[in-house]
Amino acid sequence: MKPLHFKTISEFLSFRHLPKAEHPLICVFNLGSLGQQDWSLAEPVNLVLDFYSISLKQNFPAKVKYGQQVYDFDEGVMSFVAPGQVFGVEPFPVASHPSGWMLLVHPDFFWNTPLAQSIKTYQYFDYSVAEALFLSEKEEATVTAIIENIEHEYRANLDTFSQDILIAQIELLLNYSQRFFHRQFLTREITNHRILERLEAWITAALDGDEGTNHGLPTVQAAARSLNISPHYLSEVVKLLTGQSTQQHIHGKLIEKAKRELSTTDLTVSQIAFQLGFEYPQSFSKLFKKKTNISPLDFRRSVSS
C-alpha cells in the first residue's frame, strides 16, 4: 500500500475533513469537539507527514499501526511521529466518541530556535516504529494541562511573544514525555525482561548459524529489526537491565561463545573467527584481546595447561 504523503498541515487537515488551521505551521485541536464522522475512513491507509505529530488519544474510532504493533486507544496513550515516518490507520466499525488532543507542528516553526536541533535528541520519536507511551491518570492530567496552554496561546491573537511562548510549552511537553517514558521503562519490567530474553535467543541463533558458514557479525540494527523495535528503544531496555549498550551485550555473548569454542574444540582461531561471523581473523583477535586482555591463543593455552 503506497502511503499518502502530506507536505503541509493544511493538506492533512483537508484530507481528514478537519477545521482549517489558524496558523500554517502549527495546529492543535481537541478530538472531543469533533464528531466521529470526522475520523471515519472507508479503508486502511498509510500516511507520511512532513511535520511532527504528537497525540494524546482515548476511545479513538480507528486502529493505529504504530510500527509493528497495532494500538486501540482505549486508555490515555501518546504517540509521537516525526517527519518522514510511515504510520497506518485502520478503521473499525465500533461507535465511539473520541477524546484527547492532537498537536501538529511543522519543522519550519522551530527555525532559528534551539528546539530546531534539540527536538532530534528526543529518542522516543524513533519509538514510533514500536512503542507508544501509556499514561497514568496523573500523567495524563499533566499533559492535558500543557496542551491546553498551547491551545490557548495558539488561538490567541499572535504577537511577537507568541512563538517563544508556544515553543517553551512544546519543549515542556517533550520533557515531561521524556520523564514518563523513563517511568514506563521502569514499570514495565516483565515486558522489558522478555525483550532481553528474545534478544539473547536471537544472538545465540545468530552466533550458532550454519557450521562452516560466515553469516556475518550480529549487529544492533539486525537485532532490533528482528525484534520489531527500534535500535534506540532496544538500547534503552538493555541499558536499564544490564548496564551495557546493546553492542556491548552482543560482544559479551560473542566472547562467551568464542571461549567455549577455544576451550572445547580443536578449531583454529581463524575457523572460530569465521564461524562467529568475522570476515578477518585479525578483527576477532583484536576484539577478544580488548575484552579479555589476552589473545585467543593464550586463552586456549591457559585453559588446556
If you average pLDDT over each of 97-106, 125-134, 277-286, which comes out highest?
277-286
What are 156's three cell numbers?
490567541
Q: How confident is the model at residue 124 (pLDDT cuts 50, 70, 90)?
A: confident
Length of the chain: 305
**Looking at the predicted structure, is the pLDDT value of residue 68 above 50?**
no
168 and 96 together in one domain = yes
pLDDT the model gives residue 29:
85
**Looking at the predicted structure, is the pLDDT value of residue 210 above 60?**
no
Q: How confident is the model at residue 113 (pLDDT cuts 50, 70, 90)?
A: very high
Q: What percent of the chain has pLDDT over 70?
A: 80
31 and 145 together in one domain = yes
Domain-ending residue, one of 187, 221, 239: 187
167 and 245 together in one domain = no
Domain-ending residue, one of 158, 187, 216: 187
143 and 265 together in one domain = no
39 and 24 together in one domain = yes
8 and 123 together in one domain = yes
- Per-residue exposure over 48-76, b if at least 16 CB sit within 10 Å of its own CB, e if not: bbbbbbbbbbbbbbbbbebbeeebebeeb
User: Distance between CA 262 and CA 156 in Å, rounded?
Assistant: 71
pTM score, two decimals? 0.62
- Residue range of the domain that includes 233: 190-304
User: Distance between CA 237 and CA 240 in Å, rounded?
Assistant: 5
108 and 8 together in one domain = yes
11 and 131 together in one domain = yes
112 and 194 together in one domain = no
154 and 209 together in one domain = no
pLDDT the model gives residue 66:
47
Mean pLDDT for all residues in the chain = 81
List the single range of 72-76, 247-251, 277-281 with lowest mean pLDDT. 72-76
* CATH code of the domain in which 136 resides: 2.60.120.280
Which residues share a beta bridge with 70?
65
**Looking at the predicted structure, is the pLDDT value of residue 208 above 70?**
yes
* CATH code of the domain in which 266 resides: 1.10.10.60
146 and 235 together in one domain = no
Domain-ending residue, one of 187, 217, 244: 187
Total domain count, the chain: 2
155 and 211 together in one domain = no
List the single range of 65-69, 130-134, 157-161, 229-233 with lowest mean pLDDT. 65-69
Q: How confident is the model at residue 263 (pLDDT cuts 50, 70, 90)?
A: confident
